[in-house]
Structure 1
Amino acid sequence: MEQDQHQITQVNYFFVSIVSGVFGVAIKNGLYQALSSQLEAPFRQIPANMLGCFLVGFFTNSNTSLQVVFDSVTSLAFWNQAMATSALNGNWFFALSSFITGLELAYISYKIGLDTGLMFHDAFGSSPEKEKKKKIFAEPSKFVAATSLWLLVAVLAVLDHPRRKLWLACLVAPLGAWTRHALSVKLNDHCKLELFPLGTLLANLLSSLATPGLLLVKITDPAAIVLVATVDAFQGGFVDSMATISTVMAEAHSLHKNSGKDKAWRAYLYVLLTMVTCFCVVVALVVALVAAITSIATKSFPAVANIQEFSSPNATTSSLFLA
Structure 2
Amino acid sequence: MDHETREFEPRRSGSFGQASSASSSLRRHSSNLSFAIHHQVEDDNECESVSEAGDIGDRALYTHRYSESGRHSLSFDNVTETGVVAPIQEDTASPVSPSTSQIIFSLSTDAIHPSEEKKKEHEKEAPGLWKYILCLLTLAIFGILGVLTRYGLEKLFGQEVVGATSDQNYMYPDLPSNMVGSFLMGWFGVVFKDDITKVSDALAIGLTTGFLGSLTTFSGWNQKMVDLSREGRWVFAFLGILIGLLLAASSIVFGIHTAKGFKWILRRLNTSSNGVVSRCINIRNLHERYWLLTCMVMMLLILGVLLGVFGSLAKSKFENDSTEARLFLACIVGPLGVWIRWFLARYNGRGRSLKWIPFGTLTANILAACAMAALATLKKAVDTKTFDTVATALQFGLLGCLSTVSTFIAEFHKMMQSEHPWMAYAYAMITFGISFVLGTLIYSVPSWAKGYH
TM-score by length of 1: 0.81
**Structure (1 or 2) with the greater helix fraction:** 1
Q: Say if 1:288 and 1:91 are closer, same or farther in 2 by CA, change over 3 A.
A: closer
Aligned equivalent of 1:47: 176
Write the letter of the residue equivalent to 1:125: S
Task: Decide which moves more: 6-15 or 46-55.
Answer: 6-15
Q: Does 1:29 align with 2:151?
A: yes
Mapped partners of 1:139, 1:255: distance in 2? 36
Report the 3-state secondary structure (helix = DSSP H, G, I; strand = E; otherwise coil) of the residue aligned with 1:196.
coil
Written as runs of structure 1 = structure 2, the 5 A alignment for 1:55-204 is 55-60=184-189, 61-62=191-192, 63=196, 64-65=204-205, 66-68=207-209, 69-121=211-263, 123=266, 124-127=272-275, 129-133=278-282, 136=285, 139-160=292-313, 161-162=316-317, 163-185=324-346, 187-192=347-352, 193-204=354-365
Aligned equivalent of 2:102: none
Written as runs of structure 1 = structure 2, the 5 A alignment for 1:266-285 is 266-285=423-442
Written as runs of structure 1 = structure 2, the 5 A alignment for 1:165-314 is 165-185=326-346, 187-192=347-352, 193-223=354-384, 225=386, 227-257=387-417, 259-260=418-419, 263-291=420-448, 294=450, 305-306=451-452, 308=453
In the alignment, is the contact (CA less than 8 A) between 1:11 and 1:139 conserved in 2?
no
> Residue deviations 1:171-229, cap 9 Å, x none?
111110111111011x113232313111100000000110121122223233352x333
In the alignment, is the contact (CA less than 8 A) between 2:58 and 2:343 conserved in 1?
no
Report the 3-state secondary structure (helix = DSSP H, G, I; strand = E; otherwise coil) of the residue aligned with 2:349.
helix
Write the letter of the residue equivalent to 2:338: A
In the alignment, is the contact (CA less than 8 A) between 2:183 and 2:253 conserved in 1?
yes
**What's the CA shift for 1:135?**
5.3
Q: Say if 1:20 and 1:274 are closer, same or farther in 2 by CA, change over 3 A.
A: farther
Structure 2 residue runs without a partner (length 5+): 1-52, 62-130, 197-203, 267-271, 318-323
Mapped partners of 1:133, 1:229: distance in 2? 48
In the alignment, is the contact (CA less than 8 A) between 2:57 and 2:345 conserved in 1?
no
Which structure carries more relative contact order (alpha carbon 8 Å, separation 6+)? 1
Mapped partners of 1:150, 1:195: distance in 2? 36
**What's the CA shift for 1:268?**
1.8
CA RMSD for the aligned pairs? 2.3
Mapped partners of 2:140, 2:332: distance in 1? 8
Write the letter of the residue equivalent to 2:281: K
Write the letter of the residue equivalent to 1:133: N
Write the letter of the residue equivalent to 2:180: L
In the alignment, is the contact (CA less than 8 A) between 2:349 and 2:357 conserved in 1?
no
Write the letter of the residue equivalent to 2:302: L
In the alignment, is the contact (CA less than 8 A) between 2:57 and 2:343 conserved in 1?
no
Percent of aligned pairs with the same amino acid: 25
Task: Decide which moves more: 56-65 or 140-149.
Answer: 140-149
Structure 1 residue runs without a partner (length 5+): 295-304, 309-323
Q: Does 1:6 align with 2:59?
A: yes
